[in-house]
Amino acid sequence: MKLPISPVATDLIKPLIVIPSIELSETEKHFILEHESSHINSFDLWIGYFYKFLTAIYLWNPVIWYLRKHYDKTIGFGG
């Protein structure tokens, strides 16, 4: 299993926040948990998978690719 190099929220049904084992202060941990919780509460993972699903169906449509890339950059998924 490849370990994440940055904190990440995973799983759609039972969300889990994974934090790499590095030294962090309590304040840093608090802000990380707050940030990743906001991704979970705003359904960012669901929306991201929905865009991937649309991209698979409408592979030929450049508008879908543009929207997905824009969403990924906005949310911080890369892209």
Mean pLDDT by 10 residues, the chain (79 residues): 75 90 91 93 88 88 88 71
Do residues 47 and 36 make contact, with C-beta atoms less than 8 angstroms apart?
Answer: no
Q: Tell me, what's the pLDDT at 77?
A: 64
What are 68-72's contacts with CB under 8 Å, separation 24+? 71/47, 72/48
Q: What is the pTM assigned to this prediction?
A: 0.73
Q: Tell me, what's the pLDDT at 38?
A: 92
Do residues 9 and 15 make contact, with C-beta atoms less than 8 angstroms apart?
Answer: yes
In the chain, where the domains are located: 8-41, 45-75
